[in-house]
Amino acid sequence: MTLLVVDIADMQISNNPGDTLITYSLGSCLGVTIYDPVLRLGGMIHCMLPSSKVDKEKAKLRPSMFVDTGLQLMLSRLYESGLRKSRAVVNVAGGAQVLDSQGVFKIGERNFTVLRKVLWKNGLLMQTQEIGGNKSRTISLAIANGRFSIKSGGKLVHYDVP
Amino acid sequence: MTYLKQIEDHIDRFPEMPPLSQQLLGYLHDPQVDFTIIKELVQYDPGLTANILKLANSVHFGAAGKVSSLQTALARLGTEKILELVLSLTVSSRLKVSLPGYGLQAKDLLRHSIWTAVAAQELANLLNMKQVEMIFTVGLLHDLGLLLLDPFIQTERLRFNQAVDAPEASFEQIEQDILGLDHARAGGMILAKWQLTPEIVAGVQGHHQPEQSTQYQDLIFLIHLADMLSLSEGIGTGEYGLQHNVSPHTVKAVGLKKKHLEYVASKTLDKMQELEKILS
């Protein structure tokens, strides 16, 4: 098995059954995986911030930094590789938050709001969503069978393709 | 013996400040300093010289135009920046260790420290607080106290794990409750022993309770916010995640808005990655 590490503000796609995509330490960032069980095709993205409007130049250089541009880009790549919307399994984790009574650090919440908009526009539903709280999460996606795993606070939970 | 007493004993055995930084510190407040003296100090360390040049040309520290000679780099940067560079280069090697107590892998702390240093500087620029001095250095040093407390957290693993299960408990408060001091104060104690300047000591010591400081408030709030942003983005969160309190006074103190944080986060990543390559 080969571990393909998805860095912060980055994305990877694979259709090699020997690969597992992994991204570490999602705080308020969102980790999103989309998987086609027939093609054994999967993608993972680690987005930091909700909207590319905050820095359009940066969004051109690093579209995966933002939920709006990043998710759209990953979807386009997956469609190019043959993903069918009807088979797409979407899993989402992250969006945690530091303890902030003033509400300025709600980056995770805003990330999730934008994510839902993009998914809704594309007619996609979420299979798994583990969002919020104040623990960081590490997620992985096994290309061979689409198993999605979340590790957080010493606990590891698996979600298999339905 | 209480933990606080044991930790104080540990400080006496904590490694001294790198000698070169100590010598440079002596020149920091001398505006008339002759840069050839500093060059003399630095040039016998070829690794350091190379890295000073790399840093002097990096996006973060970059002066106008490419700098290729040590003397020019030093003269352009000025003593404060030079001290920042040298401290960064010498201290960063100590920040590369893994800290099993906090659940940090090797280099996690270095990455978190660089992120905080860069973000604090970016915030200062954005909020027109450019006059704040030593901000990069304080950012880089702010979590030095983790090195001191890590073995004690390993010893008290069970109590820490139980305490963090309360979702509203902040980690710095838990450190205070179990060990008698938090990592911010521990870091301040090391830096005071190193005889660093009062603003550096205050900046590190106060970074989780900026509202309680009577001096250097701008600096301390900026470091606090940059630290929170870094943890928010998942940079060096370790086992205890994002369980840290944002000071309820931040918005008022620095005129912070949501969009500021997102803008700074977008700017910080690339600079952090560039500096990480040089410093690790």
Report the share of chain B in percent with pLDDT over 90.
50
Is a pLDDT exceeding 80 seen at residue B60?
no
State the alpha helices, DSSP H only, in chain B. Answer: 3-13, 19-28, 35-43, 46-56, 70-92, 108-126, 135-141, 145-155, 157-164, 171-179, 183-193, 198-205, 217-232, 250-254, 258-279
Name the helix (H) or strand (E) containing A60.
helix A56-61
- pLDDT tens digits, one per residue of B160-175: 999 998 878 899 999 9
pLDDT of residue B29: 67
- Entry pTM: 0.93
The answer to whether residue B41 is domain-embedded is no
Between A26 and B13, where is the model more confident? A26
Q: Which of B228, B242, B259 sits opposite A54 (nearest CB)?
A: B259
Domain topology for A2-159: 60s Ribosomal Protein L30; Chain: A; (3.30.1330)
Tokens of A51: 């909207």
CB contacts, 8 Å: B251 with chain A = 102, 104
Between B165 and A148, where is the model more confident? A148
What is the arithmetic mean of pLDDT over A8-31?
Answer: 97
- DSSP for residue A93: E
Give the domain CATH number at B170: 1.10.3210.10
Instruction: Please give the tally of structural domains in chain B.
Output: 1
The answer to whether residue B125 is domain-embedded is yes
pLDDT of residue A91: 98
Q: What band does B245 get if pLDDT is binned at 50, 70 and 90?
A: very high
The whole-angstrom separation of Cα A74 and Cα B8 is 52
Is a pLDDT exceeding 60 seen at residue A66?
yes
CB contact under 8 A, A54 and B228: no
The whole-angstrom separation of Cα B71 and Cα B53 is 10
Name the helix (H) or strand (E) containing B257.
none
The whole-angstrom separation of Cα B204 and Cα A132 is 29
Q: What band does B26 get if pLDDT is binned at 50, 70 and 90?
A: confident
Between B31 and B153, where is the model more confident? B153
Residue of B nearest to A106 (CA): B258
Q: What band does B62 get if pLDDT is binned at 50, 70 and 90?
A: low
Full domain range(s) for residue B105: 3-17+96-279
Q: Which of residues 133-152 of A touch B (CB under 8 A)?
A: 133-136
Is a pLDDT exceeding 80 seen at residue B201?
yes
CB contacts, 8 Å: A134 with chain B = 167, 241-243
Name the helix (H) or strand (E) containing A117.
helix A107-121
CB contact under 8 A, A102 and B248: yes
Minimum distance, in Å, between the CA of residue A8 and any CA atom of chain B? 9
